[in-house]
Chain A
Amino acid sequence: MSQSEYLGVFIDESEEHLQAINDNLLQLEKQPDDMTIVGEIFRSAHTLKGMGATMGFEDLAHLTHNMENVLDLIRQEQLDVTTDVMDIVFEAVDYLEEIIVDIANGGDGKQDVQAVTQHLEALQGKNLLPSKEGAAAAEASSTSEEKTPAEGIFDEYEWTVLVQSKEQGYHAFRIVVELDEKTMLKAARVFMVFEVLEQAGDVMKSTPPADELEDEKFETSFEVVLVTTVEADDIKQQIRNVSEVDSVTVDAIETGQPDKPASPAQNQTRGTETLAKPNQKEKAPSPQKKSELNKTIRVNIDRLDVLMNLFEELVIDRGRLEQIASELNNNALNETVERMSRVSGDLQEIILNMRMMPVEQVFNRFPRMVRSLSKELGKKVTLEISGAETELDRTIIDEIGDPLVHLIRNSMDHGIESPAQRQSAGKPEQGTVELRAYHSGNHVFIEIEDDGAGIDKDKVIHKALTNHVVTEEEIQQMTDQQIYGLLFSSGFSTAEEITDVSGRGVGLDVVLSTFESLGGVVTVDSELGKGTLFSIQLPLTLSIIDVMLVHVGEETYAVPLTAIIETAIVHKGDVYSAHNQKVIDFRGKVVPIIFLHDIFGVDFQDQDTDYYSLVIINKGEKVAGLVVDSLIGQYDIVLKSLGNYLTNVFAISGATILGDGQVALIVDTNALIR
């Protein structure tokens, strides 16, 4: 059992748990009274702690342990869910994230967690009620003692739960497990016993407490209280099946029903609390829940790439087979080949779909960010997310996180006004940022809309002119959207004060180029005083793109359809020279033309025609015409990289394998338009 084997699993699972904690904490903040949420958080934290301890990441275990204590206080209603408390817990989660990231990057997961631990401890200390300490002491001492009347070792709350469970037909057992003296891995045995118990029901408490058991801080025996529907003998039998268990005693706990009249009669608050608990208990037996989650498996993305490559081989052979079949004209063969084509088409779709992931992966970190950012900025902002289930190619998912962070920060910093400003503008104090994702055709749209101040067009124009981003004449020609788009030009920032959050003026142009490199298009729309909408159009997948195949001399090149406006044929007489640049008059605009023969150094025999075949491409607002020899047609192709050896090939963004097995290069149109 080498650690490294489990490290990957550990990291993946830790990230999942942290995400769950984050989500639930945000939920808890909205519904501070909902103890089921605390339960969920507690469970995630506990698992995290267990895993951290097993893998030897002490800081992680230590921190989660302290967090768990605080959560426990909340669960027992000895600590209220206040903003202060939440802040500290969030801070702890931040540290946990850092630790996991560090471990994932090959670090040792060491972090200076002292400060935050102290905060957590302060929370515990401040609110630690004497009764809790008393109970803990009682627990500790009761281990060695003869069985005291059951009430003795339970505090009031636990007792209530016991009574409640009994009423609902659960059994409560006190189980004493004695391990073999020679047991080497006591913690492991404890774990196995607990696993058995958790399958059977709910472990209410254990003596010594679970974390001490995990640290092997006990001699050979320990005691747990289990609430379950399973009979005593079955449990006994199951625990005995764990090796190195010496003896097991299972005693029913008498709650002395119904001498404590059950809670409905009690006051209102008590009632809600105790009612909430059994719900949680019912949900608790985790195995079923887990199996639902575990219907997915993790597959290394490299393996999917290999699968894809092999499949493409198959597609090429399929092409050849189709050719042969059509030549032989044998019915049976034709049918088989046709069937095979259909099946492989379906197969291709499935393989491509396997690379798709919901954008949730990216979106789920934003609520946290918005929360802390609104604090930082002193603004009230709600983030509304929709369409998080929309799927995108994994490679795109990996890239869009940072630019989206930037856009959301931008909306919060420049868009949403301060509560006072909002009030005087007659808007609700609480600003809203909406984050939407949806499918449309072959694209996925991600939109960020705020109900803030909107973009001041005149300010943008003024700034653009002073920064020489555009000229006066150009402004005259521009639509409002184009003017807003100037925000994305480099060296541009409209914030009057430079804040930590955004406004360094280096951001939005980077955002734009990241999206563009993914084949995305960014548009901005805004209404002064009403809000701003950033809309990002992304391709569904990067691995399959639509291209126009063209001949240049003997060679075949692929031009991405996303860059093509249209194709045209122009008479050679309509080509003019201006500044040593050949241009044409295309729909009233002067468009430079680029000879691909020159760019790619293809031997060019001037054909006997009087016409040029043109592919009109654009990059943003700029348009150019590519001169090719002939247009072959439009195809769906699989994009492949040229590898690490051939880097920085001018104006080539990748390659693809055509139906006949030949390689065609993909033209990087962005490089051709300066």
Chain B
Amino acid sequence: MEEAVAEDTHVKVIVFQLGDEEYALDVEMVQSIEKLQAITRIPGVEAYIKGVMNLRGIITPVIDLRSRFGMESKSYDGATRILVIHKNGDDIGFIVDEANDVLDIPISSIEPTPEVVGGVADEYLRGVVKVNDRLFTLLHVDKVLERQANKTNQKRK
């Protein structure tokens, strides 16, 4: 992932909406974008893990990113999407408000994260991108997936 960014002068990202902010994920990491579907709750796990869904025969855990970042929850609607991330041989779904765009962004436009952006603790962020008039934040997927990190997050809340 780190290499993928460094390789070229541009990086392709998927831009999605969470609350008022736009976020981005390296397109290489995203396996597919799915419409919301039935999710089976898993008892006894962190609240942000919504459960598992059946993604073409594979049991896929689903994380609500709003809840993960301690943002105010919002009921799912027609625009809600699940970004399926492929990481270490596993598929994991991220529930986002909306998937907006696929963009080529110049690597030079990635800036280090300011202290706190849109309420998301900076530990989950890899940088901020400004293209034209749009500002969006690159997510740090490893950190988002770290399950222990949950506690620190809750403290910040």
Q: What is the interface size of chain A, counting residues whose CB is below 8 A from a CB of the partner?
A: 29
- Taking A650-B43, A652-B43 as contacts, is the C-beta distance between A663 and B57 under 8 angstroms? no
Which of B45, B57, B145 contacts A657, CB < 8 Å?
B57
Alpha-carbon distance A599/B90, docked complex (angstroms): 27
Which B residue sits closest to A644, measured CB to CB? B90
Are the C-beta atoms of B56 and A646 separated by less than 8 Å?
Answer: no
Which of B38, B44, B52, B57 contacts A642, CB < 8 Å?
B52
The reply to whether the CB of B59 lies closer than 8 angstroms to some CB of chain A is yes
Residues of B within 8 A of A663 (CB): 38, 40, 51-54, 59
Residues of A within 8 A of B57 (CB): 308-310, 312-313, 316, 657
Residues of B within 8 A of A665 (CB): 40, 42-43
Are the C-beta atoms of A601 and B89 separated by less than 8 Å?
Answer: no
Distance (whole angstroms) from the CB of A442 to the closest CB of chain B: 24
Which of B38, B42, B60, B91 contacts A649, CB < 8 Å?
B42
Which of A600, A644, A651 contacts B89, CB < 8 Å?
A644
Alpha-carbon distance A645/B61, docked complex (angstroms): 8
Q: What is the interface size of chain B, counting residues whose CB is below 8 A from a CB of the partner?
A: 25
Within 8 A of B (CB), among A340-385: none
Are the C-beta atoms of B44 and A601 separated by less than 8 Å?
Answer: yes
Are the C-beta atoms of B44 and A650 separated by less than 8 Å?
Answer: yes
Alpha-carbon distance A641/B147, docked complex (angstroms): 18
The reply to whether the CB of A655 lies closer than 8 angstroms to some CB of chain B is yes
| 0/1 string, A635-666, CB within 8 A of B gives 1 | 00000111111100111100101000111110
Are the C-beta atoms of B43 and A641 separated by less than 8 Å?
Answer: no
The reply to whether the CB of A555 lies closer than 8 angstroms to some CB of chain B is yes
Within 8 A of B (CB), among A603-651: 640-646, 649-651
Residues of B within 8 A of A662 (CB): 38, 40, 54
The reply to whether the CB of B92 lies closer than 8 angstroms to some CB of chain A is yes
Within 8 A of A (CB), among B23-55: 38, 40-45, 49, 51-54
The reply to whether the CB of B1 lies closer than 8 angstroms to some CB of chain A is no
Which B residue sits closest to A315, measured CB to CB? B57
Which A residue sits closest to B53, measured CB to CB? A663
Residues of A within 8 A of B44 (CB): 600-601, 649-651
Residues of A within 8 A of B40 (CB): 555, 655, 662-665
Alpha-carbon distance A309/B90, docked complex (angstroms): 14
Distance (whole angstroms) from the CB of A320 to the closest CB of chain B: 13
Residues of A within 8 A of B51 (CB): 663
Are the C-beta atoms of A649 and B58 separated by less than 8 Å?
Answer: no
Residues of B within 8 A of A599 (CB): 43
Within 8 A of A (CB), among B139-157: 145, 147
Alpha-carbon distance A555/B45, docked complex (angstroms): 16
Distance (whole angstroms) from the CB of A411 to the closest CB of chain B: 40
Residues of A within 8 A of B53 (CB): 663
Residues of B within 8 A of A312 (CB): 57
The reply to whether the CB of B108 lies closer than 8 angstroms to some CB of chain A is no
Alpha-carbon distance A422/B70, docked complex (angstroms): 73
Are the C-beta atoms of B88 and A644 separated by less than 8 Å?
Answer: yes
Are the C-beta atoms of A646 and B54 separated by less than 8 Å?
Answer: no
Within 8 A of A (CB), among B49-83: 49, 51-54, 56-61
Which B residue sits closest to A661, measured CB to CB? B54
Residues of A within 8 A of B88 (CB): 644
Distance (whole angstroms) from the CB of B91 to the closest CB of chain A: 8
Are the C-beta atoms of A601 and B43 separated by less than 8 Å?
Answer: yes
Are the C-beta atoms of B42 and A309 separated by less than 8 Å?
Answer: no
Are the C-beta atoms of B90 and A643 separated by less than 8 Å?
Answer: yes
Alpha-carbon distance A508/B92, docked complex (angstroms): 39
Are the C-beta atoms of A646 and B43 separated by less than 8 Å?
Answer: no
Distance (whole angstroms) from the CB of A595 to the closest CB of chain B: 13
Distance (whole angstroms) from the CB of A313 to the closest CB of chain B: 5
| 0/1 string, B123-151, CB within 8 A of A gives 1 | 00000000000000000000001010000
Within 8 A of B (CB), among A306-345: 308-310, 312-313, 316
Are the C-beta atoms of B89 and A646 separated by less than 8 Å?
Answer: no
Residues of A within 8 A of B43 (CB): 599-602, 649-652, 665
Which of B54, B56, B145 contacts A645, CB < 8 Å?
B145
Of B38, B40, B89, most A-chain CB atoms within 10 Å: B40
Which A residue sits closest to B57, measured CB to CB? A309
Residues of A within 8 A of B56 (CB): 309-310, 313
Are the C-beta atoms of A661 and B61 separated by less than 8 Å?
Answer: no
Distance (whole angstroms) from the CB of B44 to the closest CB of chain A: 5
Are the C-beta atoms of A645 and B41 separated by less than 8 Å?
Answer: no
Residues of A within 8 A of B61 (CB): 642-643, 645-646
Alpha-carbon distance A640/B147, docked complex (angstroms): 22
Which B residue sits closest to A555, measured CB to CB? B41
Alpha-carbon distance A555/B145, docked complex (angstroms): 26
Alpha-carbon distance A649/B91, docked complex (angstroms): 18
Alpha-carbon distance A566/B40, docked complex (angstroms): 27
Residues of B within 8 A of A640 (CB): 58-59
Residues of A within 8 A of B58 (CB): 309, 640
Are the C-beta atoms of B145 and A646 separated by less than 8 Å?
Answer: no
Of A645, A651, A657, most B-chain CB atoms within 10 Å: A645
Alpha-carbon distance A599/B42, docked complex (angstroms): 11
Are the C-beta atoms of B49 and A646 separated by less than 8 Å?
Answer: yes
Alpha-carbon distance A472/B75, docked complex (angstroms): 61
Alpha-carbon distance A652/B44, docked complex (angstroms): 10
Which A residue sits closest to B51, measured CB to CB? A663
Distance (whole angstroms) from the CB of A2 to the closest CB of chain B: 23
Are the C-beta atoms of A643 and B59 separated by less than 8 Å?
Answer: yes
Alpha-carbon distance A313/B53, docked complex (angstroms): 13
Residues of B within 8 A of A642 (CB): 42, 52, 59, 61
Residues of A within 8 A of B54 (CB): 316, 657, 661-663
Distance (whole angstroms) from the CB of A344 to the closest CB of chain B: 14
Alpha-carbon distance A555/B60, docked complex (angstroms): 18
Alpha-carbon distance A663/B42, docked complex (angstroms): 10
Which B residue sits closest to A596, measured CB to CB? B43
Alpha-carbon distance A316/B38, docked complex (angstroms): 14
Distance (whole angstroms) from the CB of A319 to the closest CB of chain B: 13
Distance (whole angstroms) from the CB of B101 to the closest CB of chain A: 27
Alpha-carbon distance A646/B40, docked complex (angstroms): 13
Are the C-beta atoms of A652 and B38 separated by less than 8 Å?
Answer: no
Alpha-carbon distance A468/B103, docked complex (angstroms): 68
**Closest CB pairs A-B (n = 5):** A309-B57, A600-B43, A663-B40, A312-B57, A643-B90
Interface residues, chain B, CB within 8 Å of chain A?
38, 40-45, 49, 51-54, 56-61, 88-92, 145, 147
Provide a sorted-by-A list of 20 A–B residue pairs whose CB atoms are within 8 angstroms: A308-B57, A309-B58, A313-B57, A555-B40, A600-B44, A602-B43, A643-B59, A643-B61, A645-B92, A646-B42, A649-B43, A650-B44, A651-B43, A652-B43, A655-B59, A663-B52, A663-B53, A663-B54, A663-B59, A665-B43
Seed contacts A641-B59, A645-B92, A661-B54; 8 additional CB < 8 Å A-B pairs: A599-B43, A640-B59, A643-B60, A644-B90, A646-B61, A655-B52, A657-B59, A663-B38
